[in-house]
Amino acid sequence: MHKTKGLLVVFSGPSGSGKGTVLAEVMKRYPDMEFSVSATTRAPREGEKDGVNYFFKTKEEFQDMVENGGFIEWAQFCENCYGTPRAYVESRLEQGKDVVLEIEVQGAMQVKEAFPDAVLIFNLPPSMQELESRLIGRNTEPIDVVNKRLATAKEELLVADRYDYVIVNDVVEYAAEKFLSILKSEKCKAERNISLLKEFK
């Protein structure tokens, strides 16, 4: 058998593109995939749980982890910090588990630099109009927060072409299927099967 490391998958997309819904569908079909829980300094939204949605940290706690190399990437976004704890991710990859990080674009570029084998997937809304109406329609936050999020979404969309793959989230089941096909396909890449190919030489 060829004991191979798991895939490190980065999944990004603007707020309102439905990343969470796609990932939930992916996890339903592929429960063995590991979901890396990020650390953040932002306040929990209603219903969010510590250790499930995020590890909620104070600014001081977060800063300590940064200084001790505890993150494989971290970034500031809408005045809050977000980071991916290193130890969890590296141990799971070594065990052969696929690990998905739901992070924003700055962090994604850091991961690609540190892990060139990582697979970067960008989640697109069906259209710009649809994204705007979703963000405005959410109505859970003040208008200046919504506007800031819209501006950020537009900035993020500008770098979608630096990702390996883009998925249009029109129908969540189709988007999830594309996500899973990308994983399966990446595992067939010749460069990920060097030790297997050696057996035939």
Binding site for its own copies (CB under 8 A): 121-122, 124, 127-128, 157-158, 160-168, 177-178, 180-182, 184-186, 188-191, 193-194, 196-197, 199-201
Nearer to its own copies, 148 or 187 (CB): 187
Nearest distance in Å: CB 69, its own copies = 31
Nearest distance in Å: CB 159, its own copies = 10
3-state secondary structure 10-69: EEECCCCCCHHHHHHHHHHHCCCCEECCEEECCCCCCCCCECCCEEECCHHHHHHHHHCC
Nearest distance in Å: CB 148, its own copies = 18
Nearer to its own copies, 56 or 174 (CB): 174
Nearer to its own copies, 60 or 191 (CB): 191
Nearest distance in Å: CB 63, its own copies = 34
Strands 119-124 and 8-12: parallel
Give the Cα separation of 42 and 177 in Å (integer): 32
Nearer to its own copies, 82 or 163 (CB): 163
Nearest distance in Å: CB 104, its own copies = 16
Nearer to its own copies, 32 or 199 (CB): 199
Contacts of 144-151 with CB under 8 Å at 24 or more apart are 145/78, 148/78, 149/15, 149/16, 149/78
Give the Cα separation of 101 and 82 in Å (integer): 12
